[in-house]
Amino acid sequence: MTETLLKYGAFFRAAFKQGLLNRGMLSGLLFFLFILLFIYNRLWEVIGIQDNNSSLNTIYIWYLLFAEMIILSLPKPDRVLTDDIRSGTMAYYINKPISFFLMRYAEALGSMTVSFLVMGGVGSLMTLSLTGVPPFEWRYFPLIIIMCWLSSAINVLFYCGIGLSALWLESTRTLAVAVERLAFIFGGAIFPLSIYPDWFVDIARWTPFYSVYYLTIKLVYDFSWTNLFEAAVLNSLWTVLIVGFVGFAYHHLNKKVNIYGG
Amino acid sequence: MADDFIKTLKLFFYIQKSHFKTAFLSVGDALSNVVIMLINNLSFIFMWWVIFHNKGSINGWDFSDMLLLNAVMNNAFAIFALFARGIQALPEYIDNGSLDNYLVSPQRPLFMIATSESTFANWGDLLTGLICWILSGYTDLLSFALMIYASLCATAVLISYRLLVSSLAFFAGDTQKLGDNIFMAFITFSSQPASIFTGWYKVMFLSIIPAGFISLIPVMLIKTAALPVFLFLSGAAVLSIVISAAFFRFGLKRYASGNRFGVR
Amino acid sequence: MTDIIKVDRLCKKFRLKKNAAGLKGLFHPEYKTVTAVDRLSFNIKEGERVAFIGPNGAGKSTTIKMLSSILHPTSGTAEVMGLIPWENRRRLAYHIGTVFGQRSQLWYNLPVQDSFGLIGKIYGLDDIEFRRRLSKLVRLFEIRDLLGHPTRSLSLGQRMRCEIVASLIHRPQILFLDEPTIGLDVTAKEIIRNLVKKQALEENTTLLLTSHDTDDMEKVCDRVIIINKGRLIFDDSIHALKESYLNKKYIEVTDDSGAKIKTVVDTKTTPVKKALDELVQKYHITDITVENPPMEEIIKEIYRRD
C-alpha cells in the first residue's frame, strides 16, 4: 500500500514540479481569474446597491473564486489519455509494474493541484482586496479547502474517464467540451444554483455537477455540518459510479491490447 | 482599382472554399462543433436570463438589451473567427518565420495573414447572433438594418483590437500568450451587461479595452436609432481601423529591418 | 546575356539588445551592432545556377531575404529584374519564386493539388494557363501520385518536391532556394538535386541556392559564391574552385599486416612521386588510393585562409 502510494506519488510530484515551472501558464490563469473576479464583483456591487444588500458581492465572489479554482485548474487529461490510446503508447506500459491509468491520473492530479493552490493563494488576495473578508469562519477553512480539492480530484477523474471513452467514441474532445458546458450550467459555475428557478435545480440534482460543484462550493458561504455531510455522501456516490465506469473501461482496454497488441 | 478589388474578392471566396473543404474532411466533427458552440452560447444566455429574471433590470439594462448585445457580439466574433482568424496567429508567424511566405506573395500581407486560418465551429456564433436578434423583439426593418450596421462596426473594432494586440509581437519576444490573454479579457468585458461599467470603468471601457464598442454603443444605436450614436460608433470603427493598420505597418517595417531577430 | 541580379555594396547591420533579460534591459537597453552582410557585390546572369555557401551566420539567408524583398538593407543597393526588391515587393513577387527549407506554403490538411489551386489563384493565373502549367510541373517533378494526398501525409522529401512545384507555378524567372535539402536523407537529396537542375535547364530559370551541403552546389550549380562573416571571399565557377585548390592529394596505403596509413601531400612543396617513393620504401604496400580532397575540405580551407 505505502509502496503503491510512493510509486504514484512520484508521478504526482513530477507533474507538480513541472506545473510550478510553467510560469506562462500560471500567470495566464491568474490574469483570467482576475478578470472574472473583477467583472463579476462589479456586477454584484451594482446589483447589491440596487437591492440594498451590500454583502451580495462578498458571498458571490468568494463562491466564484472557489468555483474557478475547481474549473480552471483542470488540466486536459482526456486529451492525454485519448492520444495514448490512439497512438498505442499505452501498449508499452502493459508489461510494466504500474497501472497506466493511475499513472496518468496521478500526473493530472499533480498539475491540477499546482493551479488549484496558486489560484487559491493569489486569488484569495485578489478577492480580499475586491470584496473584503470571506463569508466563512476561519476554523472551517481547512475543511472547505479539502472538500473543494476532493471535488477537483473527482472532476479530474471524470475527464480521465472521458479520455478512456476513446475506445468507443470517435471524438472524445467533443464529448469533453459538451460535458464542460453541462458542468458549467448545472454546477452553477458562475452564479450559485440558489438563484436559478426551481424546475432547473430539480433537473440539475440528477447530474454529478450538482454536488461535485455547487453543493461543495456552497460551503464557502453556507457552512453547516449537514451541508458538508450531504455534499460528502453525494460526492462519494458519484465517485463510486465513475470508478465503476473507469474500471470497466480499463479492463476492456487491457483485454483489447492483449488481443491486438495495441 | 475596382478590378483589383474584384480579383481580391474572388481570391477571398476561393480561400474560404478551401477552409470549408478542410472542415468537411470530417463532416461529423464540423457539424457537432457548430452545435456545441451554439449550446455553449445559449447556456451563457440562459444564465443571464436567470439573473435578469431574478433582478428585473441591472442599472437600467434588461434582458432584451442583453439579447441585442449577444446578437452583435456573436456576429462580430463569428466574422473575426471565420474570416480573419489568422490575425490571432500573427505572433506565431513572426516567431517561426512563416510570415516570410506571406511577404513574398503578390497579395497584401495582411489579407494573406488574416485569411490564413478559420475555425468552422464559429458558424455556431452566427446562428447564436440570429437567434438572439429574433428573441430580442427588435425585429422591424430599421432595427434589422441597424443591427447589421452595428455588427459590422463592432467587427471592425474587434478585428482592429486583435490586430493591435497581435502586432506587439513585432516589438517584443514571445507575445502570443500575452496577446491571447488581453484579447480574451476584451471579449469577456464585452459579454457583460454594459450598464455595470460606470464612471472611470466606463472610460476604460471605451478606450484601453474598447469593449464598449462591441456591447454598449451598438445596443444603444439599435434601441435609439439616434444620429449622434450612429456617428460615434462609425467614428470609432474608422479610427480603430486606422490606428491598428498604422501600427501593423510600423511593425512590418521593423520586421523588414531585421532587428527583431538579428542574424539567422 | 543580361545580368538579372545586380548587387552593389550591399550591407546589413543588426542592432541587437545586449542585456535582453531583466528590468535593467528594459530601461537601459545596451545595443551591439552586428554586421551580417558586409559590402557584398556580385552580378548574376540569366540562367545561371549559383550556390551561396558559407558557415552558419555568414549572412546567406539575410542576403536571400534582401533579394527576395523581405528585408531592407542598411546601405548599398540591389536590383532584381530591374527592380529594387524592397521597394517593389508585390511587383517582384510575380517574377521570383522562393522556397524556405522548413516553412511550408502548402495547406497542412488539404490534398496537395488544392494548395496548388490556391496558389494559382493568388498569382492570378487563369484556369487553362494554370492547368497547363501544373501538368508540366507534375510531370517534371514526378508528383502525379502525390496530388491527392494531404500535405501532412507526405514524407519530407515528397513534401519538398511539392514545395518547389508550388513556388514554380507562376513561372518565376528566378528561384531562391534556402536550404532546400535540409533534413533529407541521401536518396531524397539526390532526387531533389536532379529535379531542380533539370527544371532550371529546361526553363532557363536562374537559380540561387543556399546550403550547408557542398554536394548540393556540386551537383546543381555551375557557379559558387562563398561568403564568410558577411564578406565575399570567393566567386567563380565550381570548376575553377576545384582547380585552384587541387594542390593537395589524399593518399591512403594498406601494408601487408592490413594496417591503413593516411597522409596528406601538398604538391607545391612535395611532388607526388617523392611521397610515393617514401611510402614504398617504408611499407610493404598491398593497396593504394590517391584522391583529390573532398569539396568539404576545400571549402574549409578557404575559410581558414580568410
CA C211 – CA C227 distance, rounded (Å): 12
Contact of A53 with chain B, judged by CB distance below 8 Å, is answered with no
Which pLDDT band, with edges at 50, 70 and 90, does C15 fall under?
confident
How close does chain A come to B78, measured CA to CA in Å?
19
Determine whether the interchain pair B181/A47 forms a contact, defined as Cβ–Cβ distance below 8 Å: no
Is residue A260 predicted with pLDDT exceeding 70?
no
Contacts of A45 in chain B (CB under 8 A): 196
Domain housing B86 = 2-254
- The closest CB to that of B196, out of A31, A35, A43, belongs to A43
B50 Cβ under 8 Å from any chain A Cβ: yes
Q: Residue C248 — φ and ψ, nearest 5°?
A: -115, 140
Give percent of chain A with pLDDT exceeding 90. Answer: 56
Using the Cβ of A51 and the Cβ atoms of chain B, whether some distance falls under 8 Å is answered with yes
Question: What is the mean pLDDT of the segment spanning C265-278?
Answer: 82
Q: What pLDDT is stored for residue C251 in this prediction?
A: 85
> What is the pTM for the complete model shown?
0.88
Enumerate the residues of chain B whose CB falls inside 8 A of the CB of residue C34.
262-263
Q: What is the DSSP string of C153-189?
A: GS-HHHHHHHHHHHHHTT--SEEEEESTTTT--HHHH
pLDDT confidence of A262, banded at 50, 70, 90?
A: very low
B207 within domain boundaries: yes
Residue A61 has pLDDT above 80, yes or no: yes
* % of chain C residues with pLDDT over 70: 95
Is B202 part of any domain?
A: yes
DSSP characters for A5-32? HHHHHHHHHHHHHHHHH-HHHHHHHHHH
Within 8 A of A39 by CB-CB distance, chain B residues are 188-189, 192, 196
C101 to C156, C183, C195, C306: CA distances (angstroms) = 10, 9, 16, 28
Distance CA A153, CA A113 (A): 9
Q: How far apart are CA B132 and CA B134, in angstroms?
A: 5
Q: How many domains does chain B have?
A: 1
Domain for residue B263, yes or no? no
The reply to whether B48 falls in a domain is yes
Domain edges within chain A:
2-256
Q: Mean pLDDT, to the nearest integer, of A189-195?
A: 91
Give the whole-angstrom CA distance, residue C222 versus residue B180: 49
Look at residue A92 and tell me whether its pLDDT is greater than 80: no
Q: Which residues contact C275 (CB under 8 A, 6 or more apart)?
A: C249, C251, C263, C265
Nearest CB to B256 within list C34, C70, C123: C70
Which residues of chain B fall short of a pLDDT of 50?
263-264
Contact list, B105 vs chain C (CB under 8 Å): 93, 122
Position A168 scores a pLDDT of 80
Inter-chain CB proximity B258 and C69 less than 8 Å: no
Decide if B107 and C57 are in contact by the 8 Å CB cutoff.
Answer: no
Does B70 reside within a domain?
yes
Report the candidate in C152, C173, C179, C141 with the shortest Cα–Cα distance to residue C64. Answer: C179
* CB contact residues (below 8 A), chain A span 106-135, against chain B: none
The predicted pLDDT at position C109 comes to 87
Question: Is residue B224 one of the residues assigned to a domain?
Answer: yes
B208 touches chain A (CB under 8 A): no
Residues of chain C neighbouring B4 (CB-CB closer than 8 A): none
What are the pLDDT digits (tens) for A111-129?
999 999 999 999 999 999 9
Contacts of C211 (CB under 8 A, 6+ apart): C51, C52, C53, C179, C180, C181, C182, C217
Contact criterion met (CB < 8 Å) for C59 and B25 = no
Q: Is C242 helix (H, G, I), strand (E, B) or coil?
A: helix
Phi-psi domain of C12 (left: phi exceeds 0; alpha: psi -120 through 50; beta: other): beta
Q: Distance between CA B138 and CA B49 in Å, rounded?
A: 17
Round to whole Å and give the CA distance between C160 and C151: 10
pLDDT digits 0-9 by tens, B59-106: 999 999 999 999 999 999 999 999 999 999 999 999 888 899 999 999
CB of B25 within 8 Å of a chain A CB? The answer is no
CA–CA separation, C15 and C33 (whole Å): 5
Euclidean distance between CA atoms B125 and B42, whole angstroms: 10
Residues of B in contact with A199 (CB under 8 A): none
Q: Which residues of B touch C69 (CB under 8 A)?
A: 103-104
With a cut of 50, say whether residue A87 has pLDDT above it: yes
Hey, what's the torsion of the CAs at A158, A161, A166, A167, to 10 degrees? -160
Inspect the interface and report whether the beta carbons of B105 and C15 lie closer than 8 Å: no
Mean pLDDT of C144-150: 93
Say whether the A–B interface has 3 or more Cβ pairs within 8 Å: yes
> pLDDT per residue over A11-45, tens digit each?
999 999 998 888 888 999 999 999 999 999 999 99
Q: How far is CA C213 from the centre of its chain?
A: 8
Contact C69 B104 (CB under 8 A): yes
Q: Which residue has the higher pLDDT, C203 or A91?
A: C203
Please indicate, yes or no, if residue B195 is contained in any of the structural domains. Answer: yes
CB contact under 8 A, B104 and C59: no
Mean pLDDT of A215-243: 93
Contact B263 C59 (CB under 8 A): yes
For residue C206, the cross-strand partners are C174
Cα–chain center distance at A208: 12
